[in-house]
Amino acid sequence: MHLRGFTKHGSSNVEHPGTYLGAISKLDYLKELGVNCVELMPCHEFNELEYFSCSSRMNFWGYSTINYFSPMTRYSSGGTRDCGRDAINEFKTFVREAHKRGIEVIMDVVFNHTAEGNENGPTLSFRGIDNSTYYMLAPKGEFYNYSGCGNTFNCNHPVVREFIVDCLRYWVTEMHVDGFRFDLASIMTRGCSLWDPVNMYGSPVEGDMITTGTPLATPPLVDMISNDPILGGVKLIAEAWDAGGLYQVGHFPHWNIWSEWNGKYRDIVRQFIKGTDGFAGGFAECLCGSPHLYQAGGRKPWHSINFVCAHDGFTLADLVTYNKKYNLSNGEDNRDGENHNLSWNCGEEGEFASLSVRRLRKRQMRNFFVCLMVSQGVPMFYMGDEYGHTKGGNNNTYCHDHYVNYFRWDKKEESSGLQRFCSLMIQFRKQLECLGLEEFPTAERLHWHGHQPGKPDWSETSRFVAFSMVQI
């Protein structure tokens, strides 16, 4: 959920649109929908004007942190007034009011890079304090770029990891958040640059075998967070990949407490529901909580955060409306954004399609949502997907502070049928204990079916998967 985008549109009819207070005014909607946790996109102070050379673009999403200890001041009703104290108080109020409604608050945190860009970027903070400590540097001073954003935070340096842990503790003890989702978390598992191996591991022999950026089996930062008396008790979620090609879904260092955004779940479910051959078996694994990824490591179904859509990529409505991206408005000649979307437009490209195609799209959106709600693990859906929010085929709307990123309260009313369906599916999941198991389902409890009971079809061309659960 994007805090500003949640109430910024005029149809929200709140007194303070686009702010913490505005979001508080709409918490009852989330409760009625059945939501019990919100994962906020970045709310640290970030650089909105990162793209200063492009007057039509701004950093809307917030993945460009300037101050990790400050809530975003422009999300408060008072803005930068009184040195941003309004932002602190209003953020705390938002968390408190969410808790009153039984809604937990998880923050999306960006410790993989900062707003200072590459070696030619602006000096805003860490570069001026100690460039070689806070960033991964090559021997001649160039920045390693595992984040895809110009620099890479030197997470496993002793000084940097102390900074990160102090920051996380602050947001738990002072701001009372319930956990964190770590953007491009695989960067936190990479060996740091210019470090003393004795300080990093207490073993100069082991340290001598590691070069900058090498993935570590027991990364000091992740170890430190996992065993911290405060942080070890909150929810920790890894986006278990980075822009340098490190993909750790299913094997992120976890200490049995880290969950993961399950990107493999997303891709397999998209393939099966759009009718691609060969995915019936994989789809069944997804319904079981992805035991092929997590069970062997002693992990539980809740270690899998299941999702079909997020802020990155198509919305749910666009996933069934477009076969290709339309990102020209981003100013990068349509080069940005993912090309491998695994989408299907149901027969016609774009919103203005025949009645039969539009009906099929509605069924497909319901199929995706049903899948989320009957899968073992933790379901997550993107803000607005419950009413069919569209971004016009743009799958990378990081730079737009307008309606394309705003929750459309007027459209919600127009699409009340889909919203009601989603709410009922959430209620259905909550009512059935067997859909939220603590352990992976066994063969004694889970029975698979095909077109005939007890006869599942796992062939390449299978398009039908059904199951029943036995109470034990």
Cα–Cα dist 419/383, whole Å: 12
pTM of the model: 0.95
What are the residues facing 65 on neighbouring strands?
A: 46
3-state helix, strand, coil in the chain (%, to 5): 35, 10, 50
Query: What would the pLDDT profile of 413-453 be if each residue is shown by its tens digit?
Result: 888 899 999 999 999 999 999 999 999 999 999 999 999 99
When pLDDT is averaged across residues 151-169 and rounded to a whole number, the result is: 97
What are the residues facing 455 on neighbouring strands?
A: 452
| Band of pLDDT at residue 35, cut at 50, 70 and 90 | very high
| Band of pLDDT at residue 142, cut at 50, 70 and 90 | very high
**Residue 83: how many other CB atoms lie within 10 Å:** 10
- Considering only CA atoms, which of 1, 132, 112, 116 is closest in space to residue 47? 116
**Catalytic entry in 50, 90, 239, 267:** 239
Asked if the model's pLDDT at residue 2 lies above 50, the reply is yes
Query: What would the pLDDT profile of 351-398 be if each residue is shown by its tens digit?
Result: 999 999 999 999 999 999 999 999 999 999 999 999 999 999 999 999
When pLDDT is averaged across residues 326-337 and rounded to a whole number, the result is: 95
- Non-local CB neighbours of 282 within 8 Å, separated by 6+ positions: 268, 271, 272
Query: What would the pLDDT profile of 53-80 be if each residue is shown by its tens digit?
Result: 555 688 999 999 999 999 999 999 988 7
When pLDDT is averaged across residues 259-283 and rounded to a whole number, the result is: 98
Asked if the model's pLDDT at residue 263 lies above 80, the reply is yes
Q: Alpha-carbon torsion 284, 288, 291, 293, what sign?
A: positive
- Give the per-residue pLDDT at 198: 47
- Considering only CA atoms, which of 223, 241, 236, 235 is closest in space to residue 161? 223
Cα–Cα dist 445/167, whole Å: 44
Q: What are phi and psi of 74, to 5 degrees?
A: -80, 0
Q: Does residue 239 carry a catalytic annotation?
A: yes
Quote the DSSP letter at residue 442.
P
Question: Identity (one letter) of the amino acid at 398?
Answer: Y
- Give the per-residue pLDDT at 82: 78
| Band of pLDDT at residue 399, cut at 50, 70 and 90 | very high
- Average pLDDT over the chain, rounded to an integer: 94
3-class state of residue 334 by DSSP: coil
When pLDDT is averaged across residues 147-170 and rounded to a whole number, the result is: 97
Q: What are phi and psi of 92, to 5 degrees?
A: -60, -40
Q: Is 471 exposed, middle or buried (0-12, 13-18, 19+ CB in 10 A)?
A: exposed
- Give the per-residue pLDDT at 204: 45
- Give the per-residue pLDDT at 344: 99
- Give the per-residue pLDDT at 193: 79
- Give the per-residue pLDDT at 280: 98
Find the length of the chain.
Answer: 472
Query: What would the pLDDT profile of 196-223 be if each residue is shown by its tens digit?
Result: 554 455 444 444 556 789 999 999 999 9
Query: What would the pLDDT profile of 72-125 be if each residue is shown by its tens digit?
Result: 999 999 887 877 899 999 999 999 999 999 999 999 999 999 999 999 999 999
Query: What would the pLDDT profile of 284-326 be if each residue is shown by its tens digit?
Result: 999 999 999 999 989 999 999 999 999 999 999 999 999 999 9
**Catalytic entry in 39, 50, 116, 183:** 183
CA 470 to mean position of chain CA atoms: 33
Q: What is 28-443's CATH number? A: 3.20.20.80
274: tokens are 């759009």
Please give the helix or strand (H or E) that residue 220 lies within, else none.
Answer: helix 220-226
Above pLDDT 90, what percent of the chain? 89
Q: Does residue 413 carry a catalytic annotation?
A: no
3-class state of residue 452 by DSSP: strand
* Beta-strand runs (E) in 247-333: 258-261, 304-307
- Give the per-residue pLDDT at 52: 57
What are the residues facing 71 on neighbouring strands?
A: 44
Question: Identity (one letter) of the amino acid at 217?
Answer: A
When pLDDT is averaged across residues 152-166 and rounded to a whole number, the result is: 97
